[in-house]
A and B are shown apart, each in its own frame.
Chain A
Amino acid sequence: MNIHSIADHLGKLGDNSSTGLKFDCFPISGDVDVLQVNIEGREELPIFVSVTDNQILCISYLWGEDEVKQEKRMEMFETMLELNIPMPLSAFAKIDNKYVVYGALSIKSSMEEIEDELSLLSDNCLEVIDEMADYLN
């Protein structure tokens, strides 16, 4: 399991993904290889996939600390904690100064499970921004 096998699978799907979303993959090489997955029509909010020794991490950036209305920050945190469990298969996190939603999968996951995770994560990401827009500048 690596980002290239994931890219291969998503690339071959074309219009036939189980959720109807169309994926475009761009591998980015670095210390840790990352796969940028763009979803057609949602290119502004890509998902970044990396594969480690024991898990597959799918991360979608939500917003930066600078976009948060500082007086509503605590309220935003509470909402995030409250939504964390109801939000299917994804959770909130913060990396550096950016808030993200992410999903972590076992390295033994099937390609179909990865595909579902990516679709769900993208849907969650859109919904979260829509839902939490009041906390943002």
Chain B
Amino acid sequence: MGILNKILTAFRGGANEVGQSIVDANSTRIFEQEIRDAEKHLTQAKRDLTDVMAKEMHAAREVDRIKRAVAEHEGYASQALDQGNEALAIEVAEKIATLEQELSEQQSANDSFTAHAARLKDLVKKTERQLADYKRQLTMVKTTESVQKATATITDSFTSSNSKLLNAKDSLERIKARQQQFDDRLQAAENLEAEGSDKSLQDKLAAAGIGEQKTTANSVLDRIKAGKK
């Protein structure tokens, strides 16, 4: 069963009660230990791999060396035969036979190292993938656990302070109302300021006799007098 499935099962099984841990601490510790063990195995496997690859290289060099020696001795044997020295040729041929025996042993050792290295490389790759997956799963478990604990902390804090989270719409209304009040105040202040600057301009214009003039008793009298004429 995948870890997601386990988490969901635990949720639906009622493990989401506040304070109840979804994954018991003990199994998390076991899991962490398993990851550490796997890491140790991986390090060991990598070390083994280096070892085997070094042996493989050494065996390959030996195979080359023996092949060259065989070719060389074949040349000697041929030269001995050319000289009609059969006895020497047989001695060389015996040497070649020994070399070929050695070659066959080295070759089989080399093959076995190659196969072993391939197996180890496979194992390392598999272990690395497994380890990455374990770590991902552990992160999920620990995050779930931590969120649960954080939720419990938040809930406890609300319970102990006797305050409760308001419902969403009310909260938003209150925030909006406060924002509206703030905006209104800002608007009012702006209006006041605008009026203020408007008024002072009017005063200056009036003082300079520009614009709409105030009606005074004298101007009324002048108008009446003008009408009588």
Which of A's residues lie within 8 Å of B, judged by CB? Answer: 28-34, 36, 41-42, 44-45, 48, 50, 52-55, 57, 59, 61-64, 67, 95-96, 126, 129-130, 133, 136-137
How distant is the Cα of A95 from the Cα of B179 in the complex, in angstroms? 29
Give the shortest distance, in Å, between A84 (CB) and chain B (any CB): 18
Residues of B within 8 A of A133 (CB): 168-169, 172
Given A32-B150, A34-B153, A95-B147, CB of A63 within 8 Å of CB of B168:
yes
Is the beta-carbon distance between A32 and B168 smaller than 8 angstroms?
no
Interface residues on chain B, size class: 20 to 34
- Candidates A30, A45, A54, A62; contact of B152 at CB < 8 Å: A30
Is the beta-carbon distance between B171 and A44 smaller than 8 angstroms?
yes
Is the beta-carbon distance between A63 and B167 smaller than 8 angstroms?
yes
Is B146 interfacial (CB-CB < 8 Å)?
yes
Complex interface residues of chain B between 136 and 177 (CB less than 8 A to chain A) = 139, 142-143, 146-147, 149-154, 156-157, 165-172, 174-175
How distant is the Cα of A61 from the Cα of B151 in the complex, in angstroms? 11
- The contact sample of 28 A-B pairs, CB cut-off 8 A, is A30-B153, A30-B156, A31-B152, A32-B146, A32-B149, A41-B179, A42-B175, A44-B170, A44-B172, A45-B171, A50-B150, A52-B142, A52-B143, A53-B139, A53-B142, A57-B147, A59-B150, A61-B165, A63-B167, A67-B167, A67-B168, A126-B175, A129-B168, A129-B169, A130-B172, A133-B168, A133-B169, A133-B172
